[in-house]
Amino acid sequence: MKMTEYMERGEDVILHTYNRFPVVFEKGDGVYLYDTEGKKYLDFAAGIAVFALGYNNKAYNDALKDQIDKIIHTSNLYYNITMVEAAEKVVKATGMDKVFFTNSGTEAIEGAIKTARKYAYMKDGCTDHEIIAMNHSFHGRSLGALSVTGNVKYQEPFKPLIGGIKFADFNDLDSVRALVTDKTCAIIVEPVQGEGGIYPATPEFLCGLRSLCDEKDILLIFDEIQCGMGRTGFMYACQAYGVLPDIMTLAKALGCGVPVGAFVLNEKTAKASLVPGDHGTTYGGNPFACAAVSRVFDLFEEEHVLENVREVGAYLEEKLDQLVEEYDCFTARRGRGLMQGLVVSGRPVGAVVNKALENGLVVISAGADVLRLVPPLVISKGNVDEMITLLKASI
Quick check: is 51 catalytic?
no
Query: Can you tell me the distance from the alpha carbon of 225 to that of 263, in angstroms, rounded to the nearest whole number?
Result: 10
- The secondary structure of residue 289, as a DSSP letter, is H
Query: Can you tell me the distance from the alpha carbon of 325 to that of 322, in angstroms, rounded to the nearest whole number?
Result: 5
> Which residue of the set 100, 138, 297, 330 is catalytic?
138
β strands within 203-260, DSSP E: 219-223, 247-250
Quote the crossing angle between the two packed helices 349-358 and 381-394, to the nearest 10°.
110
**H or E element in which residue 131 lies:** strand 130-134
Burial of 31 (0-12, 13-18, 19+ CB in 10 A): buried
> Which residue of the set 101, 234, 246, 252 is catalytic?
252
Quick check: is 101 catalytic?
no
Residue ranges of alpha helices (H) inside the chain are 3-13, 46-49, 58-70, 81-94, 105-124, 143-147, 152-155, 173-177, 203-216, 267-271, 287-302, 305-326, 349-358, 381-394
Query: Can you tell me the distance from the alpha carbon of 219 to that of 296, in angstroms, rounded to the nearest whole number?
Result: 29
Quick check: is 223 catalytic?
yes
- Residue 360: CB atoms within 10 Å: 17
> Which residue of the set 43, 223, 246, 369 is catalytic?
223
* Burial per residue of 137-173, b for 16 or more beta-carbon CB atoms within 10 angstroms, e otherwise: bbbbeeebbbbbbbbeebbeeeeeeeeebbbbebbeb
- Residue 10: CB atoms within 10 Å: 12
Residue of 299, 301, 321 lying closest to 373 (CA atoms): 321
Contact criterion met (CB below 8 Å) for 129 and 117 = yes
Query: Can you tell me the distance from the alpha carbon of 24 to that of 82, in angstroms, rounded to the nearest whole number?
Result: 33
Query: Can you tell me the distance from the alpha carbon of 283 to that of 74, in angstroms, rounded to the nearest whole number?
Result: 8
**Residue 221 Ramachandran class (φ > 0 left, ψ -120 to 50 alpha, else beta):** beta
What residues are annotated to the active site? Answer: 138, 223, 252
